[in-house]
Chains A and B, each alone.
Chain A
Amino acid sequence: MITVILFYVFAALAVAAALVVVAQRNPIYSAFGLIVTLCSLSAIFGLLGSPFIAALQVVVYAGAIMVLFLFVLMLLGVKEEDRTSGRALKAVATALALTLAVEMGVVLVGAARPAPAAFDASTRTVAQVLFSAPYLYAFEATSILILAALVGSIVLARRDA
């Protein structure tokens, strides 16, 4: 019961903050909105019984990536953004948004909703799944990719030095 109430609270918060991200003209407020969205999603992960994913969500996205976003915004001193003008652009955007909404509606209404299977999302289980046969190679490949990106960014940053 409490879980359901909390779910709706955090879901509403996530959606409201996501609207702030899109609607705000001040990019700093948009960034704050995104942080709130990410934290609400983390709370929902926690409610689903996966504290590990919940913590990672905050550490990686809300804690690390968004700090860099804010960093850039504040250093560049971005002020208010102008509203995008142009009728053609607006028409295309509206059409695309409507298409997406209809698609999502069809999928969500039409999809069969089996009761979620009981699952164990504790840290140990997540680690065991991640480090065993089907996902291990993808996981290690991702690590190498991130390492390559790291080295690449250092090389690019040092080019002028």
Chain B
Amino acid sequence: MTLSPVQQELAITVVKVLVLFNALLGLFSVMTWAERRLLAFMQFRLGPNRTGPIGIFQPVADGIKLFFKEELIPAGANKWVFVAAPALAVFTAFLSIAVVPYGGTITLPRFAWMPAWLQGREVVLQIADLDVGLLFIFAISSLGVYGIVMAGWAAGNKYTLLGGLRSSAQMFSYELSLGLSWVGVILLAGSFRIHDIVAAQAGGFWRWNFIQQIVGFAVYLVAATAEVNRTPFDLPEAETELVAGFHTEYSSMRFALLQMAEYVNMITVAAVGANLFFGGWLSPVPFLPDSPLWFFAKMFAGLFFFIWLRGTLPRLRYDQLMAFGWKVLVPLATLNILVTAAVVAFHPFAR
């Protein structure tokens, strides 16, 4: 079979999409289990440990359970929007990870069974290498709000509506700081492209952005936690006030989809953080080779951090959340941009 160069590229991209999609699905189910286990250990409990060795098959059992549950649509619900909302949430969650690189380039090995054009071919470990990668993530994550708002509104329940409105206000406020926290990194690298940003950090862990951009990193950490609705910013689903927030009325697989969107967003945020502030797939010390394994180690550290936070911190009050976002984070991020821009502009040899 002979393929034109365009078809070859297309085939490779399709394979990458399939692999990444399934890897994310797998990671999502592992994360649900890991989160429950780790949280349990932090609270001196055991967590799910009955299904399979150390409970590793718990996600499978959960999946089967959710499949066989009745799928309820409340009588007062707006049916179309109610059904579309979880799909939209998952769609935006998966879309933004398409531009996140998880390694540099790898050269495929030469096996006899491979077609000639695949042997020794260089493959970029990323689905789409966009010139405006970071802006794309920003754009898609700003669309992610709609999934939650629609879910909250469509159910026709006052708790879900309040949960949806809260979360849109929250994501809206923290998105601003999230975007601003990236600007320092973009200024240092002189590019929106995540590959360039990682490349600009080459040369050992002391060149990674979390040192020079410590303020930006702190803002990113807080804003990202709020953006993915994790504790201490999980107000959209504060049980004591709002039952289960925007997904109160969702059951069965639609509930699972909303959960999936949340976890995939969390993975995206951890992956972006690893790339922007911790040098992505670059090795921390010059004598070790760069490898996607570094990237995965950094990403999993980020994911663990989210679980750790959830096991440690109480939930903020809504007015505290808003005040903190607008009166602390936004000015801090703006100041960081000002200082970084001044350094880049007046000290061209800083990097």
Residues of A within 8 A of B343 (CB): none
Return the contact of B145 from the options A42, A51, A67, A74 (Cβ within 8 A): A67
The count of chain A contact residues (Cβ–Cβ below 8 Å) is 22
- Is B54 part of the binding interface, using a Cβ–Cβ cutoff of 8 Å? no
Chain A, residue nearest B140 (CB): A58
- Is A56 part of the binding interface, using a Cβ–Cβ cutoff of 8 Å? yes
B139 and A71 contact, CB distance less than 8 A: no
In the complex where A55-B138, A59-B138, A74-B153 touch, is A67 in contact with B132 (Cβ < 8 A)?
Answer: no
- Is B308 part of the binding interface, using a Cβ–Cβ cutoff of 8 Å? no
In the complex where A64-B142, A70-B149 touch, is A52 in contact with B132 (Cβ < 8 A)?
Answer: yes
A59 and B165 contact, CB distance less than 8 A: no
B139 and A63 contact, CB distance less than 8 A: yes
8 A Cβ contacts from B131-160 to A: 131-132, 135-136, 138-140, 142-143, 145-146, 149, 153
B161 and A74 contact, CB distance less than 8 A: yes
Chain B, residue nearest A42 (CB): B139
The count of chain B contact residues (Cβ–Cβ below 8 Å) is 23
Cα distance, A70 to B161, chains bound together (Å): 12
In the complex where A67-B172, A74-B161, A123-B192 touch, is A58 in contact with B130 (Cβ < 8 A)?
Answer: no
For the complex, would chain B's binding face be called helix, strand, loop or mixed by DSSP majority? helix
Chain A nearest CB from B334 CB (Å) reads: 13
Chain A nearest CB from B171 CB (Å) reads: 8
27 contacts between A and B (CB under 8 A): A51-B131, A51-B132, A51-B135, A51-B136, A52-B131, A54-B132, A55-B135, A55-B136, A56-B135, A58-B143, A59-B138, A62-B139, A62-B143, A63-B142, A63-B145, A63-B175, A67-B142, A67-B149, A67-B168, A67-B172, A70-B149, A71-B149, A71-B168, A74-B153, A74-B165, A75-B165, A123-B192
What residues make up the interface of A, taking CB atoms closer than 8 Å to B? 28, 32, 35, 39, 42, 51-52, 54-56, 58-59, 62-64, 67, 70-71, 74-75, 122-123
Given contacts A32-B81, A64-B172, A71-B149, 6 further A-B contacts (CB under 8 A): A28-B81, A51-B136, A59-B142, A62-B139, A67-B146, A67-B149
